[in-house]
Amino acid sequence: MIDTEHAFAAFDARDKSQDGRFVGAVKTTGIYCKPSCPARRPLRKNVEFFATPAEAIKAGYRACKRCLPDEVGRDAEGVARALALIESAEGRVSLNDMAAAAGFAPHHFHRLFKRAMGVTPAAYVRAGLATRAAQALDEGTSVTNAIYDAGYSTPSRFYAQSNRRLGMSPSAWRQGGAGVTIGWAIKQTSLGQMLIAATDKGICRLSFDEDESVLYRLFPNAQIEPGGAGLDPLIEGATTAIERPSQMPTLPLDIGGTAFQQAVWAELMRIPAGETRTYADIAAAVGKPKAIRAAGTANGANKVAILIPCHRVIRTDGGLGGYAYGLERKEELLRREGVE
């Protein structure tokens, strides 16, 4: 379902980033346009929205000759063909192959894909490979078989990319943190008791009202111990993020997730302090405007509260929505950032 209020806001603002995600149809003229159409805007009551040009045509509308919304539809179809190729391929897919499947020149396809999906074609392929490998490891497949079954040409490529993206080594991931040392600390803040835990690569858990026992559940085979002086800068940075959000530092994170979760979390980190987005906004921003519920689930799967600011996401009707650590904390965090 289209979030009509979000759609009209984008339509009224001529938001080019929303092109291809829906069309706005004007009842008084019988014409449908893409969101960025430069034509004069009609009254809200005279506009309805459709997910595709085909739906607008079925409802009796015709395409605008000024903004050519059907061209955007063809762009979306091209990206869909490229995605189908990526999903069906057993290994890496070149930009030229994806562009050929989409029916565009490589440089034009690269731009279309990034606009539609929020990441470059290469980044999307890499995320897919890593996700498939992680799933195979979770299912008990050997590390070597998981690497090749996922589509990596050599183990070295997987190790290089997974260490950047996931933090822990592949075997550690499979074995619940085996071989990884996680230091933890508990600090009292103005929002209550904060648990912070980190590997040598970054923070892997930041939560409230929890103690170190949660780490034994999440990482049953890791070496878990009280953090030493090396954890102090991370504690200080996390405390600053809570007490003075406008001064929140950039801290290293060691988290893993699916490609969709990673995209959602990256979008959350783009929300400036003092601003909010709706779940529909986030779904649209990652190229999945209909996946509002999935965006909410990914939002809730955030492992490092505050640092990935999931508290800045609210419902379309202005309600706070959910928050793992209580709505009072969410409200207070937003108040500290200046959100009414």
Q: Is 67 a catalytic residue?
A: no
Structural domains counted in the chain:
5
- pTM higher than 0.75 for the full model? no
| pLDDT score for 68 | 86
Beta-strand pair 31-33/62-63: parallel
Q: How far apart are the first and last CA of the chain?
A: 28
pLDDT tens per residue, range 8-60: 988 988 887 787 778 999 999 999 999 989 999 999 999 999 988 889 999 99
Matching residue, tokens 């779904």:
283
Using the Cα atoms of residue 267, residue 270, residue 272 and residue 273 in order, give the sign of their dihedral.
positive
Last residue of a domain, one of 247, 274, 297: 247
- In this structure, are 288 and 231 located in the same domain? no
Matching residue, tokens 């997987």:
158
Residue 94 belongs to domain with CATH number: 1.10.10
What is the residue range of 88's domain?
71-117
- In this structure, are 318 and 298 located in the same domain? yes
Last residue of a domain, one of 67, 83, 103: 67
Residues whose CB is less than 8 angstroms from the CB of residue 219 and which lie 6 or more positions away in sequence, other chains included: 176, 177, 180, 182, 204
Q: Count Cα atoms within 13 angstroms, Cβ side, for 23.
A: 28
User: Is 159 among the domain residues?
Assistant: yes
- In this structure, are 94 and 108 located in the same domain? yes
User: Is 254 among the domain residues?
Assistant: no
Residues whose CB is less than 8 angstroms from the CB of residue 43 and which lie 6 or more positions away in sequence, other chains included: none
User: Is 252 among the domain residues?
Assistant: no
Residue 201 belongs to domain with CATH number: 3.30.160.70
Q: What are phi and psi of 187, to 5 degrees?
A: -130, 140
User: Is 237 among the domain residues?
Assistant: yes
| pLDDT score for 143 | 44
Q: Of 33, 37, 67, 204, which residue is the catalytic one?
A: 33
Q: Of 37, 67, 204, 310, which residue is the catalytic one?
A: 310
- In this structure, are 169 and 186 located in the same domain? no
Q: Give pLDDT < 70 ranges for the chain.
A: 1, 72-73, 76, 90-92, 115-119, 127-175
- In this structure, are 329 and 265 located in the same domain? yes
- In this structure, are 228 and 162 located in the same domain? no
Residues whose CB is less than 8 angstroms from the CB of residue 177 and which lie 6 or more positions away in sequence, other chains included: 168, 218, 219, 220, 221, 222
Q: Is 37 a catalytic residue?
A: no
- In this structure, are 51 and 78 located in the same domain? no
Residue 35 belongs to domain with CATH number: 3.40.10.10
- In this structure, are 332 and 263 located in the same domain? yes
- C-alpha angle 60/117/286, rounded to 5°? 90
pLDDT tens per residue, range 175-206: 677 788 999 999 999 999 999 999 887 898 99
- In this structure, are 205 and 159 located in the same domain? no
